[in-house]
Amino acid sequence: MPPRSPAEAAPRSAAGPDEGYRPDPRRWHALSVTLVVGFMSLLDVSIVSVALPSLQSDLGATPATVQWVVSGYALTFGLALVPAGRLGDALGRRRLFLAGLAGFVLASAAAGAAPSIGWLVAARLVQGLAAGCLAPQNSAFIQQLFRGAERGRAFGLFGATVGISTAVGPVAGGAILGLASGPDGWRWLFYVNVPIGVVAFLLALRLLPRGGSGGRGRIDVVGVLLLGAGALAVLFPLVQAEAGGLSRLWWLFAVGVALLGAFVAWERRVVARDGQPVFDPRLVTQTRGYGIGAALGTVYFVGFSGIWLVLALFFQTGLGYTPLQSGLAVTPFALGSASSAVVAGRLVERYGRRLTVLGLVTVIAGLAAAAGVLLLVPPSAAGWAIAPALLLGGVGGGLVISPNITMTLRDVPVAMAGAAGGGLQTAQRFGAAVGTAALPGLFYLVLGATGDDYPVAAASGLAVSVLGAAAALVLGVVDLRRNRAGDRDGADRAAGDGGPVPGERHGPDGVHSHGHAWHG
């Protein structure tokens, strides 16, 4: 018996995917709570990096061990995303969000009180696991609570949260270390999460909707193990890059590819048997826009995530900036990204993929201009001179992240929103892991080859970011052209039949979904 089509697999009534939807009067308040929690968990990816020297001296740790404070969090964060998304779909998003938030708060308190580096690393591993449980529920709640133009605005706010949290981590870390002076000042980087998390937990108990689980409660254990092992094999050498992981553990990449291939084969088998996969392959093969949107996000995050480490190295090591000064130097990007992401959320229903293409062109222009500034302007003036270029790049970045999230998830059924959101964010985490390993490595390579020419080394890192944005631009243009071609085909069929095609929905840039596509 052949596997059911996605339309059969995704629960929906004959009246359409939105039948029975009733706007929750507290949906915007609920969104505010999830965004604050999402900001806090994403901020912890980078906020600790400015405190590594004081951590190392205070706890008597080696450089390789203290690096696990950052990389361990990123590792468990990435590993948890897809399984946690599927668990939220199956068992209830509210339940998993509350459990993840409680774990995050407790792990933050444990990290702040850590008496040794081993304790701190263990707490950070648990903290990253809890953050990975939270992240896919954010996008899933948006799918569940909002429809139409409201969903675009909600994803705009979500995209702004992702962009700001990534960019302002060094600023926030430097500010906290500046206020909490002394050898134990780094502990407040973790303690600050506790009161915010407790308040958010109480609000989430009151505001988050009950229910929302669309699965049948069965978990694909074999799929979870295969995906986890494959992702671990690929990510582990990357997060250990600064400790020589790429040269020592390169063979894990081959193991990871084999395990991920086995995972795809297993998931197809589960689907063919009408089971409940941890990540349904049809999200990529049969859900319009999902596969190319995830690929676009992955290559964009290669440059987007890695460039902050390069600029931090340039300003702090090359120019002698304090962590706070270094963070303030890149603040224009965060400001531009925040403002444009919110606006893009309101425009995505009208302009669709064109916003992403425009944003990528703007990012390329801004980062290329920033590289030129570093090469041409005296280092003493670089912090001020680079601000307009970073602001331009940030405006473009805000037009990339939130519209791409909306376009990628718009045709995903609500019943699979958690797994789909987890898959998208996992792809972005892979891109971020590659970028944070490759760009600083290139920085040091160029630095050694040029005799400590910091501007050239930083400009080289920016050039790689430009290439990543250019690769994302190619994908965006391909998707835009495909959508327009599909729109013309739909119009031709409608003209030939004398009416619209049943089950077909048209949107911006010809984005449409047929009756065989999944609906949310």
The pLDDT of residue 13: 35
Reported confidence tier of residue 462, pLDDT bands at 50, 70, 90 = very high
Contact criterion met (CB below 8 Å) for 43 and 172 = yes
Whether residue 332 is found in the same domain as residue 309: yes
Q: What is the pLDDT of residue 430?
A: 79
Helix (H) or strand (E) holding 214: none
Which run of H or of E encompasses 48? none
Q: Contact, 502 vs 515, CB < 8 A?
A: yes
**Average pLDDT, integer, range 370-383:** 91
Q: Which residues of 88-105 are buried (b: 16+ CB within 10 A; e: fewer)?
A: bbbbbbbbbbbbbbebbb
> Helix or strand or coil: residue 160?
helix
Q: Are residues 426 and 305 in the same domain?
A: yes
- Tokens describing residue 208: 């988050």
Q: How confident is the model at residue 485 (pLDDT cuts 50, 70, 90)?
A: low
Helical packing angle, 27-46 and 68-91, nearest 10°: 150
- Domain assignment present for residue 520? The answer is no
* Domain assignment present for 406: yes
Domain contains 358: yes
Residue 496's pLDDT band (boundaries 50, 70, 90)?
low
pLDDT in tens, 9-25: 444 433 344 555 677 78
Same domain, residue pair 148 and 40: yes
> How many residues appear in the chain?
520
The sign of the CA dihedral 236, 238, 239, 243 is positive
Phi (first) and psi of residue 369, to 5 degrees: -65, -40
**Residue 4 counted as domain residue:** no
Nearest-angstrom CA–CA distance, 325 and 50: 11
Neighbours of 403 (CB within 10 A): 32
Contact 402, 160 (CB under 8 A): yes
Last residue of a domain, one of 236, 259, 275: 275
- φ, ψ dihedrals at 513, nearest 5°: -130, 135
Summarize pLDDT for 50-70 with one digit per residue, the tens: 777 777 778 887 766 777 887
Q: Which of 275, 292, 321 is the last residue of a domain?
A: 275
Last residue in a domain, options 275, 299, 317: 275
63, burial (CB in 10 Å: exposed 0-12, middle 13-18, buried 19+): exposed
With bands split at pLDDT 50, 70 and 90, how would you rate the model's confidence at 493? Answer: low
Residues 265-316: pLDDT tens digits?
888 888 888 777 877 788 887 778 888 888 998 899 888 877 877 888 888 8
- Do 158 and 225 sit in the same domain of this protein? no
Confidence of residue 242 (pLDDT cuts 50, 70, 90): low
Verify that 391 and 260 share a domain, yes or no: no
- pLDDT, one tens digit per residue, over 128-181 is 999 989 988 888 888 888 887 788 788 878 877 876 776 677 778 878 877 877
Assess whether 210 and 264 both reside in one domain: no
Helix (H) or strand (E) segment spanning residue 513: strand 512-513
Query: How far apart are alpha carbons 412 and 142 in whole angstroms?
Result: 12
Question: In which domain, by residue range, is 255 found?
Answer: 220-275
Same domain, 248 and 326: no
> DSSP state, 38?
H
- 325 and 383 in contact (C-beta within 8 Å)? yes
> Which helix H or strand E contains 505, and what residues bound it?
strand 505-506
Please indicate, yes or no, whether residues 231 and 325 belong to a single structural domain of this protein.
no
Report whether pLDDT(212) > 60: no
Mean pLDDT over 29-40 rounds to 92
Query: What per-residue confidence (pLDDT) applies to 289?
Result: 81
Same structural domain for residues 120 and 172? yes
Q: Does one domain contain both 235 and 303?
A: no
How many structural domains is the chain composed of? Answer: 2
The answer to the question of residue 290 being in a domain is yes
Residue whose structure tokens are 């263990």: 122
Using DSSP, state whether 276 is helix, strand or coil: coil
3-state secondary structure of 1: coil
Least confident of 83-87, 159-163, 485-489: 485-489
Of 33-37, 218-222, 492-496, the least confident:
492-496
Burial class (CB in 10 A: 0-12, 13-18, 19+), 503: middle
- The CATH number for 506's domain is 1.20.1250.20
Measured in degrees and rounded to the nearest 5, phi and psi for residue 16 equal 130, 165
Q: Which uninterrupted H or E stretch holds 5?
A: none
Residue 362 lies in a domain: yes
Beta bridge partners of 512: 506
250 in the same domain as 206: no
For position 200, what pLDDT does the model report?
A: 94
Beta bridge partners of 506: 512
Question: What is the C-alpha separation between 493 and 512, in angstroms, rounded?
Answer: 14
Same domain, 294 and 408: yes
Question: To the nearest whole number, what is the mean pLDDT of the chain?
Answer: 80
- On whether residue 151 sits in a domain, the answer given is yes
Predicted local confidence at residue 20, as pLDDT? 58
Question: Mapping DSSP to helix (H, G, I), strand (E, B) and coil, where does residue 10 land?
Answer: coil
In a domain, 450, yes or no: yes
